A = this chain, B = another copy of it.
Amino acid sequence: MAFLMAEQDKISGPLGIIAGGGGLPCVIAEAARARGLPLHIVGIRGEASAAIERFPHTWVKWGEVGKLFDALERHECHDLVIIGAVTRPDLANIKLDLGAVRNLPFLISLGMGGDDHVLSSVVRFLEKKGYRVHGADEVAPELLAGEGPLGHHAPSAEDQADIALAFKVVKALGRLDVGQAAVVSKGYVVAVEAAEGTDAMLERCAALRKSGRARGRGLAGVLVKAPKPGQEERVDLPTIGPETVNKAVAAGLAGIAVAAGQVLVAERDATVDAANRHGLFLVGQRFPAKSGG
């Protein structure tokens, strides 16, 4: 686990943060700053938020691989965190710079396979170039959901049964490098995440509920998020945040369960507040499938 690695493999030099979308890149930057680490953010244009501009930063477009490496070299960043959501770019529409052309066989190899295949390839590629890639939790371990309820509410016995089934679904799928999330309500698997992502999956659940195809009145059903067994956790830890809670509310769910120690909670206070306010439980549970089982 990344947790244990942190002991052996401390980050000393300036931290390079390769930033996709959402608030996490800035959270990691804050955490690095609090630890006294110099840092430089490389934001992916069209993905990362403009909020990264309050830190030292460089913008790169998809395909500007040479510019990415230049920025990391210029700021002496050999320790990297890759964080934030990215949409899969359409490789055929990307303009490549010289650095990208030099690494073309690698880039072409990314065109095949599931997310985890792509992310592990990126990590291996960076490691071969001499970079050390760290999990976001090594810089900010407080971001990980622990075990037990995070807010005021706890799952009922019926919720627990739904949670158990949803973990089974995520585990079965994760082995095939599919998604990290599922929604189960009263023993019925309502939705399974693949390329569309968790937010779109929850929107679908809300629509199904409105059309009367998901049963039950009142809050019912759970969202479960967990990493794929064996996935490259350093670059693709599943994440929840306030928006996840809001979308779970719209879908009429009773709560959210995540794999304890393996899922990031972005904006924890806002996330927990939203859950408390809407009466949802938010709970970290051991995910026994960790090592493939």
A187-B87 in contact given A175-B172, A194-B192 (Cβ < 8 Å): no
Asked if A217 is an interface residue, CB under 8 A from chain B, the answer is yes
Neighbour of A92 across the interface among B90, B182, B188, B217, CB < 8 A: B217
Q: A1 contacts the other chain (Cβ, under 8 Å)?
A: no
Bound Cα distance from A179 to B113, whole angstroms: 22
This chain's copy number in the assembly: 2
A190 CB contacts on chain B under 8 angstroms: 194-195
On chain B, the residues within 8 Å of A196 by CB distance are: 191, 204, 208, 213
Number of A residues, CB within 8 Å of B: 45
Is A6 an interface residue when CB atoms closer than 8 A count as contact? no
Question: Within the complex, which residue of B87, B114, B191 is in contact with A188, where a contact is CB–CB below 8 Å?
Answer: B114
Say whether A67 faces chain B, with CB atoms less than 8 Å apart.
Answer: no
Which residues of A in the span 159-216 have a Cβ within 8 Å of any Cβ on B?
A: 165, 168-169, 172-173, 175-179, 182-183, 186-196, 200, 204, 208, 211-215
Q: How many Å lie between the Cα of A175 and that of B176 in the bound state?
A: 14
Contacts of A213 in B (CB 8 A): 87-88, 195-196
Which chain B positions have C-beta within 8 A of A90? 212, 215
Q: A172-B172, A172-B173, A204-B196 are in contact. Are A189 and B93 (CB under 8 A)?
A: no
Which residues of B lie under 8 Å from residue A182 when comparing CB positions? 194
Report how far A202 CA is from B42 CA in the complex, Å.
Answer: 36
A117 within 8 A of B: yes
- What CA separation (Å) do A190 and B114 show in the bound complex? 9
Q: Which residues of B contact A117 (CB under 8 A)?
A: 187
Nearest-neighbor residue (CB-CB) of A165 within chain B: B176
Contact for A212 among B93, B188, B204, B217, CB less than 8 A = B93
Query: Given the complex, which residues of B lie within 8 Å of A87, measured CB to CB?
Result: 211-213
From residue 89 to 124 of chain A, which have CB atoms closer than 8 A to chain B?
Answer: 89-93, 111-115, 117
Shortest Cβ-Cβ A-B pairs, 4 listed = A178-B189, A113-B187, A192-B192, A172-B172
25 contacts between A and B (CB under 8 A): A87-B212, A87-B213, A88-B214, A89-B212, A92-B217, A111-B215, A112-B188, A114-B189, A115-B188, A117-B187, A169-B173, A172-B175, A173-B173, A177-B189, A178-B189, A179-B189, A182-B194, A183-B194, A189-B194, A191-B196, A192-B193, A195-B208, A195-B214, A196-B204, A200-B204
A interface residues with partner B (beta carbon < 8 Å)? 87-93, 111-115, 117, 165, 168-169, 172-173, 175-179, 182-183, 186-196, 200, 204, 208, 211-215, 217
Given contacts A115-B188, A178-B189, 20 further A-B contacts (CB under 8 A): A87-B211, A88-B212, A92-B217, A93-B212, A112-B186, A112-B187, A113-B188, A114-B188, A165-B176, A168-B176, A169-B178, A172-B176, A173-B173, A173-B192, A179-B192, A188-B195, A190-B195, A191-B195, A192-B192, A195-B213
